Structure 1
Amino acid sequence: MSDDSRNIEQPDMQESRPKTPSRMAEGMAMHRLAETMLPEDVRIFSDPYAVHFINPEILKFAAEHPRKAEQKVREMKNLFPGLGNSIRARVKYFDLVLNECISHDFAQLIILGAGYDTRPYRTPEIDHNFKVFEVDHPETQSVKKEIIRRIFGTLPDNVTYIPLNLETGDLDVALSSSCFSELKKTLVIMEGLIMYLSSDSIHRIFQYFSKECPVGSKILFDYYPESVVSGEKNEYAKNIVKFTQLNGEPLKFGIPDHAERNFMSQWNFADIRIIRSEEYKNLLFTGKNADRSVCDFLSFMEVTI
């Protein structure tokens, strides 16, 4: 690791600056910590670094007031039944795809809206020869880099940090200014991202990768249907919409209901695989986990360029 890890500054990094780093990113770290704390024969993954991305005051409150903390967890589960398990299934499924790609000669990983994703640091298969590009809003990325330095003493040599507002910045310029190679097979991960971007931004992103990544590369992401993002589907959907609004990161984009393949066909991808809630539940929650419910609204998609 080296403190000289690439950090590509972008001219738009001051635009649309949130007042604080992403609260959703911290929330996802809390899910990863909670899963990690489960017994070894129950948890579906382990993230030893998640705890570092959570406000110490939250951890202190949970330690000093366990009953109140448990009550808050129950309230969230009642408000969003199964969603926490879907979020954790997403982590595990994306991990599995990443490892499969590495074993099939992929050489690069791009994490868009990286937040507090720890894959570059907790995946043993990622070595110094495997290039990682973390793209995220500068406010959140700045905090993350400080935490990574505290954990490891320095930043990893193989990770390039690209501060970019995906709504206003130019992804093409950002990646071309880095050591990203358009000749090497690449996995693009967009975990918990596209639902927070505008339709125009989504189209620019898919258009860019469909043209610039070599054949065989993959894009992996999760999504809500349009009816959930609009809040029209049911009360559960309205709760999700309201929650994201209150956290300052409202939902903006959903793929048209029951029309995913038609929507994605405009970029002429070689293959489109949809992983719905029933499939990832049956794959990941077996044995002692068989009774863990998931959210029917959250699906994953894996497309091959």
Structure 2
Amino acid sequence: MEAGSRPSSTAEAAAAIRAVESLLPADERLFEDPFAEYFLKPWQRRIIGACRKNRTLREMVVRAVDLIYPGVPADFIVRTKYLDDQIRSSIDTKKVDRLVIIGAGYDTRALRLIDAAGLTVTEIDHPATQSHKRRVIERLARAAAHIEWVPYDLSKFAGGANAPLDLFDGKERVIWLLEGIVGYLPGGSVRALLKWIAARSAPGSTLLITYVHRSWIDGSATDLSAQRIMRSLARRGEPFVSGFSPQSLREECDRIGIQIQEDISEAECAKRYPAFRDRRLHLLTGFRLARGEIL
């Protein structure tokens, strides 16, 4: 999320990790994002350039970040891989009319995954971050006619007349992606947003959501990384303010007609990927990934 009118620093951090992951050989990386580095500052791009020439330096950079913020590099890497796979599966196995990315940040799936799939992509995000993203894509001279841009401050979401747009009539089968956004929204906004999503989706639509366990919010988390990450986010003016337990997310979604079909920690998810098993990175159980179907 944004502090004031500045673009999101967490969106930039996610892009940096995706850029570094993309430097690995094809048989080692979990995904490739050739666009991520273009959202970074010049000094960050110089580091990426140096890492491209020197694998040892790349590993040192990732480990340094993991030492300062344990679990953060793995968070961005594992969740990107998981969500990419889920989106591809939805496209390959059933009719999908639209991908809606809520709190899109510098997500490049509209270019990496959807460009050739013939889908409309709607991106809803804070005006400051979205404006910067559009300028970058224009500089890259990428065709983006399939992207529908909706600038909106999601922290103010209350549903009803306050909804950011009226494009969804409930007749489209939609993939709704909420990656890295739920923790930054007040609990009331999250509940209103999920209810709004359920009411504007054809049956069989998909919800993909990442969230932070509520033990991080109430201070009961035993993971030593939790408070370090929480303090860092607060200093940057982008604190986590809400979370769920797996049971509370399932109950919330059950009430509004969304059936959670999978809910796992990123530590559990990482075990699925052989290319990730030998990396000496922290994995956090407090970051979770969930997939649901709208009934």
Structure 1 length as normaliser, TM-score?
0.84
Q: Are residues 83 and 224 of structure 1, via their aligned partners in 2, closer, same or farther at CA, if it must alter by over 3 Å? A: same
Partner in structure 2 of residue 297 of structure 1:
286
Task: Indicate whether 1:46 and 2:36 are aligned.
Answer: no
Of 59, 63, 78, which residue of structure 1 is paired with 2:45? 59
Q: Which runs of 5 or more residues in structure 2 are unaligned? A: none
Aligned pairs for 1:150-299 (under 5 A) are 150-152=139-141, 156-169=144-157, 173-176=163-166, 178=167, 180-234=168-222, 235-256=224-245, 259-284=248-273, 286=274, 288-292=275-279, 293=281, 294-299=283-288
Matched, 1:112 2:102: yes
Counterpart in 2 of 1:8?
none
Which of 1 and 2 has higher RCO (CA within 8 Å, sep 6+)?
A: 1
Does the alignment pair 1:21 with 2:7?
yes
Residue 69 of structure 1: how far off its partner (Å): 8.7
For residues 87-133 of structure 1, the C-alpha deviation after alignment (integer angstroms, 9 at most, x for no partner) is: 21111111111111112111100000000000001115644x41110
Gaps of 5+ in 1: 1-15
- Identity across matched positions, percent: 26
1:177-222 Cα shifts (integer Å, max 9, x gaps): x4x4531100000111101111011011111111121110011011
Moved more, 260-269 or 84-93: 260-269
1:68/1:87 CA distance change after superposition, 3 Å: closer
Q: Identify which range, 210-219 or 261-270, moves more after superposition.
A: 261-270
In structure 2, relative to structure 1, the CA distance for the partners of 1:184 and 1:120 (3 Å cut) is: same
| Distance apart, 1:289 and its partner CA | 2.9
TM-score normalised to structure 2 length: 0.87
Kept in 2, the 8 Å contact 1:102–1:125? The answer is no
State the Cα RMSD in Å: 2.5
The number of equivalent residue pairs is 284
Q: What are the Cα deviations for residues 121-157 of structure 1, in whole angstroms up to 9, with x where unaligned?
A: 1115644x4111000000110000000000125x511
Structure 2 letter corresponding to 1:250: P
Q: Could you tell me how far 1:283 is from its partner in structure 2?
A: 1.4
- Given candidates 52, 75, 81, the residue that maps to 1:92 is 81
